Amino acid sequence: MAIKVDQVLDAKGLACPMPIVRTKKAMDQLNSGEVLEIQATDKGSLADLKAWANSTGHQYLGTNEEGDVLLHYLRKADPSETKEEVDFPHVTSNTELESKIGEAGVTILDVREPAEHAFARIPTSKSIPLGELEERLGELNQHDTVYVVCRTGSRSAMAAKLLTDNGFENVMNVKPGMSEWTGKVENN
């Protein structure tokens, strides 16, 4: 069955946060109820676009695969259905996070995709990809200070908001994240 789309966005070859940045711009050009097809090769775009749609009120319709290309479908919400995009207010730096590694009562939560985590991760970090976070909240201690990290601070902002919405009180979004991390790393 062919899916009727109103606009196609080519995000092939782009990595986080660019598929989201381009999707946001494309959605601004659509009318309520219209459908955007996002063509992406970044496997992390699946979790990213689902989370972004959920955080803004737009409807994530689904994803199809054609070879190495993911075809994501989003429906633009009516203005009465949308939520204002809010950056997470509690932000800390890479330097501050580096000083907390190994400290009692601290959890470093890496919400990148497993492949990203495998190749370069902060020592002691726990990997829970953004798309799995809601179903895996029980793996985290609500009483710890949770430092949430991703590649740039975008996915981690969404994850930090999800944590606070679920009762976590001490949550920090780490910016700029792994894209500019200069501290020790581990890999597989």
Q: Tell me: the pLDDT tens digits for 124-137? A: 999 999 889 999 99
Say how far apart CA 157 and CA 151 lie, in whole Å.
Answer: 11
Q: Which two tokens stand for residue 152?
A: 């740039």
Q: Let me know: does 75 contact 114? Beta carbons within 8 Å.
A: no
Q: Tell me: the pLDDT tens digits for 80-139? A: 766 666 678 999 999 999 999 999 999 999 998 887 888 899 999 999 998 899 999 999
**Mean pLDDT value across residues 54-64:** 86
Q: Tell me: the pLDDT tens digits for 125-179? A: 999 998 899 999 999 999 999 999 998 888 899 899 999 999 999 999 999 999 8
Q: At what angle do helices 45-56 and 154-165 cross, to 10 degrees?
A: 50
Say how far apart CA 67 and CA 120 lie, in whole Å.
Answer: 27
Say how far apart CA 166 and CA 172 lie, in whole Å.
Answer: 14
Q: Can you spell out the DSSP letters for 47-75?
A: HHHHHHHHHHTPEEEEEEEETTEEEEEEE
Residue ranges and CATH numbers for the domains of the chain are: 7-75 (3.30.110.40), 91-180 (3.40.250.10)
Select the more confidently predicted residue: 41 or 77. Answer: 41
Q: For the whole model, what pTM was predicted?
A: 0.67
Instruction: Give the active site residues.
Output: 16
Backbone dihedral angles phi then psi of residue 148, each to the nearest 5 degrees:
-100, 125
Q: Let me know: does 139 contact 126? Beta carbons within 8 Å.
A: yes
Q: DSSP character for 126? A: E
**Mean pLDDT value across residues 47-71:** 88
